[in-house]
Structure 1
Amino acid sequence: MLDINRLRADTPGCEQLVHFNNAGASLSPAVVAAAIARHQQREIRLGGYEAADAAQAETAAVYAGVARLLNARTEDIALVDNATRAWDMLFYALPLKAGDVVLTSASEYAGNYIPYLQLKQRLGIQIEVLANDEQGQVCLAALQARLQGPGVALVSLPMIASNGGVVQPVQAIGALCRAAGVLFLLDACQAAGQVPLDVRAIGCHMLTATSRKYLRGPRGVGFLYIEQALCQRLEPTFLDLHAASLVSADAFEIRADARRFESWESNLAVRLGFGAAVDYALGVGVDALWARIRHLANYLRTALHTLPGYHCQDVGQPLSGLVTFTSEHHAPAAIQHYLAHLPQRINVSVSGAASTWLDMQQRGLESVVRASVHAYNTEAELDSLVDALRAL
Structure 2
Amino acid sequence: MNTDKIRDDIKGLSDGKIFLNNAGSSLMPTAVVDSMIDYLHQEEQLGGYEVANRNSELLEQFYDEAAKLINCKSSNIAFATSATEAFAKALSSIIFKEGDVVITTVDDYISNQITFISLQKKLNVKIVRVKNLSDNELDLEDLENLIKEHNPKLVAVTHIPTNSGLIQNVEGVGKICKQYDVLYLVDACQSVGQMAVDVEKIGCDFLTATGRKFMRGPRGTGFLYVSDRVLEQNYAPLLLDMRGANWTEYNDYELFKTAKRFEHWEISYASLLGFTEALKYANDIGLSNIEDYNRKLSEKLRKNIQNIGFKIWDQGNNLSSIITFSGSDGDLENIQKVLKENNIFFSVAYKNSALIDFTNKNIHGIVRLSPHYFNTLEEIEKVSEILKNSL
TM-score range, shorter chain: over 0.9
| 1:333 CA drift (Å) | 4.9
Report percent identity of matched pairs: 32
Given that residues 234 and 255 in structure 2 are in contact (C-alpha distance below 8 angstroms), is that contact kept between their aligned partners in structure 1? no
Given that residues 24 and 213 in structure 1 are in contact (C-alpha distance below 8 angstroms), is that contact kept between their aligned partners in structure 2? yes
The alpha-carbon distance between structure 1 residues 329 and 361, as it changes in their structure 2 partners (threshold 3 A), is closer
The alpha-carbon distance between structure 1 residues 317 and 255, as it changes in their structure 2 partners (threshold 3 A), is same
Q: Which amino acid aligns with 2:106?
A: A
| 1:334 CA drift (Å) | 4.8
* Alpha-carbon distance in structure 2 between the residues aligned to 1:323 and 1:381: 15
**Range with greater deviation from structure 2 (173-182 or 121-130):** 121-130
Q: Which amino acid aligns with 1:136?
A: N
1:183-332 equivalences under 5 Å are 183-231=183-231, 232-308=233-309, 310-328=310-328, 331-332=331-332
Uncovered stretches (5+) of structure 2, i.e. residues with no partner:
none
1:67-146 equivalences under 5 Å are 67-146=67-146
| 1:200 CA drift (Å) | 1.2
Aligned to 2:52: 52
Report the TM-score when normalising by structure 2: 0.96
| 1:90 CA drift (Å) | 0.6
Given that residues 99 and 151 in structure 1 are in contact (C-alpha distance below 8 angstroms), is that contact kept between their aligned partners in structure 2? no
**Range with greater deviation from structure 2 (133-142 or 279-288):** 133-142
* Alpha-carbon distance in structure 2 between the residues aligned to 1:151 and 1:172: 18
* Alpha-carbon distance in structure 1 between the residues aligned to 2:336 and 2:22: 14
Aligned to 1:388: 386
Q: Show CA shifts across 1:295-329 (max 9, x none).
A: 10110111112223x11111101100000100146
| 1:330 CA drift (Å) | 7.3
Q: 3-state SS of the aligned residue for 1:299? A: helix
| 1:133 CA drift (Å) | 1.9
Q: Which amino acid aligns with 1:295?
A: K
Q: Which amino acid aligns with 2:249?
A: S
* Alpha-carbon distance in structure 2 between the residues aligned to 1:246 and 1:119: 30
Aligned to 1:357: 355
Q: Which amino acid aligns with 2:116?
A: Y
* Alpha-carbon distance in structure 2 between the residues aligned to 1:214 and 1:112: 19
Aligned to 2:335: 335
Q: CA RMSD for the aligned pairs? A: 1.5
| 1:372 CA drift (Å) | 0.4
* Alpha-carbon distance in structure 1 between the residues aligned to 2:371 and 2:152: 37
Q: Show CA shifts across 1:239-287 (max 9, x none).
A: 2222223223332223222111111111111110100000000000100
Q: Show CA shifts across 1:211-245 (max 9, x none).
A: 01111111100110011221343231222222223
Q: Show CA shifts across 1:148-189 (max 9, x none).
A: 223322110100010123211111110110001111100000
Given that residues 106 and 356 in structure 2 are in contact (C-alpha distance below 8 angstroms), is that contact kept between their aligned partners in structure 1? yes
Q: Show CA shifts across 1:38-74 (max 9, x none).
A: 2112112221111111111111101110011111111
1:374 aligns with 2:375: no
Q: Which amino acid aligns with 1:362?
A: N
| 1:209 CA drift (Å) | 0.5
**Range with greater deviation from structure 2 (91-100 or 21-30):** 91-100
Given that residues 330 and 363 in structure 2 are in contact (C-alpha distance below 8 angstroms), is that contact kept between their aligned partners in structure 1? no
| 1:139 CA drift (Å) | 1.0
* Alpha-carbon distance in structure 2 between the residues aligned to 1:200 and 1:330: 41
Q: 3-state SS of the aligned residue for 2:317? A: coil
| 1:387 CA drift (Å) | 2.1
* Alpha-carbon distance in structure 2 between the residues aligned to 1:151 and 1:43: 51
Q: 3-state SS of the aligned residue for 1:149? A: helix
* Alpha-carbon distance in structure 1 between the residues aligned to 2:207 and 2:134: 26
Given that residues 239 and 263 in structure 1 are in contact (C-alpha distance below 8 angstroms), is that contact kept between their aligned partners in structure 2? yes
Aligned to 1:15: 14
Q: Which amino acid aligns with 2:157?
A: L
Given that residues 28 and 216 in structure 1 are in contact (C-alpha distance below 8 angstroms), is that contact kept between their aligned partners in structure 2? yes
| 1:85 CA drift (Å) | 0.5
- Number of residue pairs matched? 388
Q: Which amino acid aligns with 1:12?
A: K
Q: Show CA shifts across 1:353-383 (max 9, x none).
A: 2222211111112110000010111112112
Uncovered stretches (5+) of structure 1, i.e. residues with no partner:
none
Given that residues 108 and 358 in structure 1 are in contact (C-alpha distance below 8 angstroms), is that contact kept between their aligned partners in structure 2? no
Given that residues 239 and 260 in structure 1 are in contact (C-alpha distance below 8 angstroms), is that contact kept between their aligned partners in structure 2? yes
**Range with greater deviation from structure 2 (239-248 or 364-373):** 239-248
* Alpha-carbon distance in structure 2 between the residues aligned to 1:51 and 1:167: 41
Given that residues 336 and 347 in structure 1 are in contact (C-alpha distance below 8 angstroms), is that contact kept between their aligned partners in structure 2? no
* Alpha-carbon distance in structure 1 between the residues aligned to 2:165 and 2:339: 23
Given that residues 292 and 375 in structure 1 are in contact (C-alpha distance below 8 angstroms), is that contact kept between their aligned partners in structure 2? yes
